[in-house]
């Protein structure tokens, strides 16, 4: 009896541990992770916070160094992610998967961001939009909150995302009441249909 009580308590504690240390991120396609480049840009303390919980919001990244671009991919940089670059064609449908261990209702979008100036590409804005996403008042999140797809614009400028590191698909989610911002980025290049044929 004592043993089972102890293990039950341990199980509850481990559940609590999971639930307080997780919010959400993109799990597929492979999204930017931390690495030495991010340590240089953001500092080890900030990277340690992300390593401790890969789903934390921007607001919880500890002591980011001056110059750390938290508002672009939560500070993750291309140099650490060169082996994760995806190759897409205009018009291609990209299936994406998110994990949302803790929900916070608010808006979400996936847009193509030009990393050189952290701006959304005109043709790549709002490839998917939710006005209300990850609503914690729902018993179960709608399936399309964690599995959805976007289409690479057919009219994307031919030279916009040719070079790896120039463009990311950025998943952006803001928990309104929680005041928590989430950003996960997928590096990609677009090859023109001519190149493929
Ligand atoms: Cu959260």
CA–CA distances in Å: residue 32 to residues 15, 35, 76, 158 = 27, 9, 6, 24
What pLDDT, on the 0 to 100 scale, is given for residue 192?
Answer: 77
Q: Is 38 in contact with 78 (CB distance < 8 Å)?
A: no
Burial of 190 from C-beta contacts in 10 A (0-12 / 13-18 / 19+): buried
User: Residues within 5 Å of ion ligand 1 by Cβ?
Assistant: 23, 102, 180
Flag whether 4 is in a domain: no
Q: Structure tokens of 131? A: 């006005």
Distance 33 CA to ligand 1 centre (A): 19
Distance 20 CA to ligand 1 centre (A): 8
Distance 103 CA to ligand 1 centre (A): 7
Report residues of the chain scoring pLDDT below 50: 1-20
What pLDDT, on the 0 to 100 scale, is given for residue 13?
Answer: 44
Distance 135 CA to ligand 1 centre (A): 12
Q: Is 138 in contact with 146 (CB distance < 8 Å)?
A: no
Distance 180 CA to ligand 1 centre (A): 6
Flag whether 1 is in a domain: no
Flag whether 12 is in a domain: no
Flag whether 154 is in a domain: yes
What pLDDT, on the 0 to 100 scale, is given for residue 131?
Answer: 98
State how far the Cα of 87 lies from the Cα of 80, in Å rounded to an integer: 18
Flag whether 179 is in a domain: yes
Flag whether 37 is in a domain: yes
Distance 105 CA to ligand 1 centre (A): 10
What pLDDT, on the 0 to 100 scale, is given for residue 19?
Answer: 42
Computed over every residue of the chain, the mean pLDDT equals 90
**10 Å Cβ neighbour count for 23?**
23
SS3 80: helix
Neighbouring residues of 97: CB distance < 8 A, sequence distance ≥ 6: 26, 27, 28, 146, 147
Distance 55 CA to ligand 1 centre (A): 8
**Per-state percent for the chain, helix, strand, coil, to nearest 5:** 30, 30, 45
Flag whether 167 is in a domain: yes
Flag whether 8 is in a domain: no
Count of structural domains within the chain: 1
Q: Is 111 in contact with 124 (CB distance < 8 Å)?
A: yes
Distance 3 CA to ligand 1 centre (A): 34
Encode pLDDT of 145-163 as tens digits: 999 999 999 999 888 999 9
pTM of the model: 0.87
Domain that holds residue 128: 24-196
Query: For residue 139, what is the domain's CATH number?
Result: 2.70.50
Q: Is 126 in contact with 150 (CB distance < 8 Å)?
A: no
State how far the Cα of 78 lies from the Cα of 86, in Å rounded to an integer: 12
Distance 38 CA to ligand 1 centre (A): 22
């Amino acid at each position: 009896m004592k043993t089972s009580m102890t293990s039950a308590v341990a199980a509850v504690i481990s559940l609590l541990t999971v639930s307080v240390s997780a919010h959400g991120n993109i799990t597929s396609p492979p999204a930017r992770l931390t690495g030495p480049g991010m340590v240089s840009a953001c500092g080890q303390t900030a990277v340690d916070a992300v390593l401790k919980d890969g789903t934390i919001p921007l607001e919880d990244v500890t002591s980011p160094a001056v110059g750390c671009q938290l508002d672009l991919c939560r500070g993750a940089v291309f140099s650490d992610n060169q082996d994760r670059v995806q190759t897409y064609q205009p018009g291609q449908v990209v299936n994406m998967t998110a994990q949302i261990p803790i929900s916070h209702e608010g808006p979400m979008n996936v847009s193509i961001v030009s990393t050189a100036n952290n701006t959304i590409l005109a043709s790549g804005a709002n490839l998917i939009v939710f006005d209300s996403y990850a609503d914690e008042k729902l018993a179960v999140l709608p399936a399309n909150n964690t599995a959805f797809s976007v289409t690479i614009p057919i009219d994307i400028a031919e030279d916009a995302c040719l070079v790896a590191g120039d463009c990311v698909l950025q998943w952006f989610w803001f928990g309104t009441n929680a005041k928590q911002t989430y950003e996960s980025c997928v590096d990609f290049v677009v090859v023109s249909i001519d190149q493929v044929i």
